[in-house]
Chains A and B, each alone.
Chain A
Amino acid sequence: ASNQTSLMSFFGKK
């Protein structure tokens, strides 16, 4: 099985 990552862990909020 694989886990979905979130974009928030790669990109910072502006």
Chain B
Amino acid sequence: MLEGKFESASLMKRLVEAIKDSVKLCNFNCSQTKGITLQAIDDSRVLLISLKLDPGCFEGFRCDKNLVLGLDLESLSKVLKQGNNEDYLTLIAEDAPDNLLVVFEDPKKDRISEFSLKLMDIDSDVLSIEDMDHDCSITLPSSDFAKVARDMRTLSESLQILVTKDSVKFMASGPIGTGSVIIKAHTDLKDGKESIKIDLNKSVNVTFGAKYLNDIVKASTLAETVTIKLTNKIPALFEFKLQGGYLRYYLAPKFDE
């Protein structure tokens, strides 16, 4: 039996909103030691999502037997919208489940709502992603990155990212003209989360599809900062750290013809 209780429903609500536009059907893997993990690839095979919710992400977590919960994220989103952000959220499944039980309790315990969601058999490819060495790592406020990704998409379908020792340059070029945004490394002593950190082994020049970057920045509601790991000509990693877990996106680059 699986019983995972979140201190507040808002984490799951934000997670599902962040990924449901990229992937529709996902297998949630549940185990006592690993908690809940998920790997899903978008239909175009360009963007991969990897989620880890350690047992420590939960107020209470119990999973007697490893389980795979195949869920339609559209449906899960509909159910999660029924609960308030500050409600307790508990996910419950039997050992060979046909359904996932989703229970919301308001903190005053005078309202309990229960939903049963049908599970699906989902046949999906799982890719083996080893820890990669990257040419550079950038950590910046997730809202800053979201703004650049959204703004630059209005200029072009592609966003070029150039990283040097102390700055990151985002460039877009399209039918109406060109644009660039330069972000410089700095340390904010008052608020560390506002700092911009660049670790560089080698300068990087990579291009990504703006559409995918706009999907990725939907996760900026989950973490105040995002870490972007880039290497020339290989997929980039975008990581949003959660308390006791992470949401990672791997994005295949675009190459010049």
Binding site for B on A (CB under 8 A): 1-14
A sample of 23 cross-chain residue pairs with beta-carbon separation below 8 angstroms, ordered by A number, consists of: A1-B257, A2-B254, A2-B255, A2-B257, A3-B254, A3-B255, A3-B257, A4-B44, A4-B46, A5-B255, A6-B45, A6-B46, A7-B41, A7-B235, A7-B252, A10-B252, A11-B48, A11-B250, A12-B128, A13-B125, A14-B125, A14-B126, A14-B127
Considering the complex, which residues of chain B in the window 98-140 have a beta carbon less than 8 Å from any beta carbon of chain A? 125-129
B128 touches A11 (CB 8 A): yes
Work out how many contacts link A and B, with CB atoms closer than 8 A: 57
B207 within 8 A of A: yes
- Of B126, B129, B253, which is within 8 A of A5 by CB? B253
Within 8 Å CB of B209, what residues of A?
4
B234 within 8 A of A: yes
- Name the residue of chain A whose CB is nearest to the CB of B255: A3
Minimum CB–CB distance from B219 to chain A (whole Å) comes to 18
A6 touches B252 (CB 8 A): yes
Within 8 Å CB of B191, what residues of A?
none
Q: CA A7 – CA B201 in complex, angstroms? A: 24
Within 8 Å CB of B253, what residues of A?
5
Q: CA A11 – CA B235 in complex, angstroms? A: 9
- Chain B contributes a number of interface residues (CB within 8 A of A) equal to 23
A-B pairs, 4 with minimum CB distance: A2-B254, A11-B127, A14-B126, A6-B45
- B200-240: CB near A (< 8 Å → 1, else 0) gives 00000001010000000000000000000000001100000
Minimum CB–CB distance from A11 to chain B (whole Å) comes to 4
Minimum CB–CB distance from A13 to chain B (whole Å) comes to 5
Minimum CB–CB distance from B29 to chain A (whole Å) comes to 12
Q: CA A12 – CA B129 in complex, angstroms? A: 8
B128 touches A13 (CB 8 A): yes
- Of B45, B158, B234, which is within 8 A of A2 by CB? B158
Minimum CB–CB distance from A10 to chain B (whole Å) comes to 5
Within 8 Å CB of B46, what residues of A?
4-7
Q: CA A6 – CA B209 in complex, angstroms? A: 12
Most buried by B among A1, A5, A7, A10: A7
Minimum CB–CB distance from A3 to chain B (whole Å) comes to 5
Q: CA A12 – CA B126 in complex, angstroms? A: 9
Q: CA A9 – CA B204 in complex, angstroms? A: 20
B188 within 8 A of A: no
Known: A2-B158, A12-B128, A13-B128. A7 touches B45 (CB 8 A): yes
